[in-house]
Amino acid sequence: MTPCAAALALLLGQAAPATPPAEGAAGAAAADPAAAGTAAGAATSRPATGTAAEDAELSRAREEIAALRAEVERLRADLAAAREQLTAEASRAAALEERLRSVEQARAADADSRARTAEDTARNIQQRAAETAGAVEGMRSAQDALTRGETGNVDSALAAQATALERARALARQQGSAQEALRADAATRWIAAAREALARGDLNQARMALAQAQALAAGAGALSGEQAGTGSGAAAPAVPGY
């Protein structure tokens, strides 16, 4: 080599750039296939996090939990509604029982009242029947005395019979027995007429008036006797003629 050629080669060698590191590594890898295989295996052996299967499993678990919570809330709501309905039904049953007790008490009270009224009515009927029967019997005795010409106690006896008939008349009117009340009242007036005749000394007129009083009183007694169920009304005596 001539001295000029040697100098030119030296200059060219100094002007060439250095080889890049990356290219050097790639070149090294390319130059060493075993080293390149090792690096690729390390990269693929690392596990991947947050895979699609795990995400799906977590999603299903969340859905099941949400469904269970919804079911629990529904059961709680149903239980609350059942308790409310039970309370309402219990209140309704208590109200019905109270109403039933009130109705039964009212019926019992009404039955007692009716029974007492019936007893009072029967007792009053028997009382006025007894008053009338006693008056009729007393007037019969007075009539017998007048027939014998005895006048000693006739006026006081007739006054007592008139009082008894007045009591019977009041009871008959109170209990709606108008016919009995009218007959008892008429008998009382005829007793008054007999007493007036007796006071004048007219025994015949007194007997006639007393007979009328007896007939009317006996008719009143028959009515009260029928109502009392005794059938013990005295038969009306015949009215004597003049």
20-45 pLDDT, tens digit each: 444 444 444 444 444 444 444 444 44
> Cβ neighbours of residue 220 under 8 Å, at least 6 residues apart?
132, 165, 168, 169, 172, 180, 181, 183, 184, 187
Q: Where are the domains of the chain?
A: 126-228
- How far, in Å, CA of 65 to CA of 138, rounded? 108
Residue 1 has pLDDT above 80, yes or no: no
Reduce the DSSP state of residue 213 to 3 states and report it.
Answer: helix
Question: Confidence class of residue 8 from pLDDT cuts 50, 70 and 90?
Answer: very low
The tens digit of pLDDT for each residue in 115-156 reads 988 888 888 888 888 889 999 999 999 999 999 888 888 999
> Is 126-228 in CATH node 3.40.50.720?
no
- How far, in Å, CA of 70 to CA of 78, rounded? 12
Question: Confidence class of residue 210 from pLDDT cuts 50, 70 and 90?
Answer: very high
pLDDT of residue 151: 85
Q: How many CB atoms lie within 10 A of CB 70?
A: 10
Residue 215 has pLDDT above 90, yes or no: yes
Q: Indicate the DSSP class of residue 17.
A: P
Global pTM reads 0.52
Q: C-alpha angle with apex 133: 131 to 139, nearest 5 degrees?
A: 100
Mean pLDDT taken over the chain: 79
- The length of the chain in residues reads 242
C-alpha separations of 154 from 87, 120, 133, 205, 207 in Å: 82, 34, 18, 14, 11
pLDDT of residue 230: 53
The tens digit of pLDDT for each residue in 147-185 reads 988 888 899 999 999 999 999 999 899 888 899 999 999
pLDDT of residue 206: 92
Q: How far apart are the first and last CA of the chain?
A: 211
